[in-house]
């Protein structure tokens, strides 16, 4: 048995949101649980191409993701939504829109995120080549009361994914 819910993974670029979501999706699939991953980078490449990183463009991107997540959630799917979503107001709007929603804060220090950066985005942001980069030249508003916090600088991917699955079990979303 499973009930639909959206787990909204938020955190800085490079914090490990997508990596953890992929492992959670793998673990859920092994149990026969229906889950879908909505990834911010993939959405920007497919559905919201052309949007930049202004607050308004981020709102539009998140609203599109929330709409898709709401449809999946109401049909009993567990949605693993991986988005930087740096603004509290935008995350709250997603929560209100979706309904069955849990915020997962993927917490990782900026220095560690920059160290992990394989795309070189932080280097460009620190040098000023990229503007409006979350955590560098644009703010990230950490969640005030997330349902779950993952510290990816201190916990392995396996540990984080196991904690997410345990959360789903204890909240009755999966049996």
Which residues contribute to the annotated binding site for ATP? Answer: 11-18
If we measure between CA atoms, which residue out of 9, 16, 13, 11 comes closest to residue 153? 16
- Which is catalytic among the residues 85, 89, 97, 100? 85
Quickly list H helices, 15-156.
17-30, 40-46, 55-74, 88-98, 110-116, 121-127
Label residue 157 exposed, middle or buried (CB < 10 Å: 0-12, 13-18, 19+).
middle
> Is 85 one of the catalytic residues?
yes
Structure tokens at 4: 């639909």
Q: Which residues are annotated as a binding site?
A: 11-18
Which residues participate in catalysis according to the annotation?
85
């Amino acid at each position: 048995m499973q009930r639909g819910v959206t787990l909204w993974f938020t955190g800085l670029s490079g914090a490990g949101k997508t990596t953890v979501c992929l492992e959670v999706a793998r673990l859920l699939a092994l149990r026969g649980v229906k889950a879908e991953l909505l990834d911010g980078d993939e959405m920007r490449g497919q559905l919201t191409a052309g949007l930049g990183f202004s607050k308004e463009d981020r709102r539009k991107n998140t609203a599109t993701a929330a709409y898709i997540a709401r449809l999946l959630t109401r049909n009993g799917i567990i949605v693993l939504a991986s988005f930087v979503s740096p603004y509290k107001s935008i995350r709250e709007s997603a929560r209100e829109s979706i309904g069955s929603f849990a915020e997962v804060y993927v917490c990782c220090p900026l220095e560690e995120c920059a160290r992990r950066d394989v795309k070189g985005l932080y280097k460009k942001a620190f040098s000023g080549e990229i503007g409006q980069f979350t955590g560098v030249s644009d703010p990230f508003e950490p969640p005030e009361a997330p349902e779950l916090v993952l510290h990816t600088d201190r916990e392995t991917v396996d540990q984080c994914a196991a904690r997410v699955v345990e959360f789903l079990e204890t909240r009755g979303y999966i049996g």
